[in-house]
Structure 1
Amino acid sequence: MKLNSYLMFNGQCEKAFKFYEQCLGGKIEAMMTYGGSPVAEEMSPELRDKIMHANLVVGDQELMGSDSPPELYEETKGFSVSININDPVEAERLFHALAKNGAIRMPIQETFWAARFGMLVDQFGIPWMVNCDKAA
């Protein structure tokens, strides 16, 4: 079994995934618009250039997402995308990259369980936690 996060956006999926690709050092392997899909004719003109499905691969992990039809979109709440990193310097870099134009909820810092831990909401409204465990 494999669990993946699937993020829903309000028209910003393409921009968000290009940002995540840059921050996370991954590769976008799929990005299909509603207009480029087999159901294109059924879509409203406003939705045709929006993303029906995006897939970003980082190492052996995947992050997926799409633009929600406006009438179905709900603001993101109740979860965070959690990233665990072994290098405190990389944790700091990644935290600050994702926080660009976003909101820091907890500055990245040492905690009783982590060499570095911080929480943020990125510029697209997605909550993130960056964790770097203390060396054993």
Structure 2
Amino acid sequence: MSSKTEADFIDLSLLDENLLLQEEGIEVEILGPTNKPTGLKITIYGPDSSRSAQAVKELTALIEKEAAKEGDADVDSPEAQRRRSIIYLAKVTKGWNLPPVVDGEKLSFSEENAVKLYTKYPIIEGQIRFKADRRGSFIKS
């Protein structure tokens, strides 16, 4: 057998920056229907962050609770799945730069208000989902 040298291992420290960025969160600039910035910037945690892991645990508990309800046939309906997906996104949302106005109400940041925002505006939900689901979104350029 040959002796071990420095070339006999893989240095994964490059992944540490990615994990750190996922814990800190990244800012997503929200675009409008014409692909121009709206001015709204939403900060989200990454898919490998501790916040994301906690969100998955909380959603699993919610799904189990919903499934345990007697006669609840809507646990896997498309509407229920979208609602849970939005709840997950709200849980991995860290905040936003300015309060958006939804139905005449200025929304300060909270998980509940993030649910309102993503439910009302699928265009925003889609942009957040696209970034939140991709580890590549959390690489410094």
Shared topology, TM-score over 0.5? no
Larger proportion of strand: 1
Give the TM-score band, short-chain normalised: under 0.3
Larger proportion of helix: 2
Q: Which has the higher contact order (CA 8 A, sep 6+)?
A: 2
Larger radius of gyration: 2
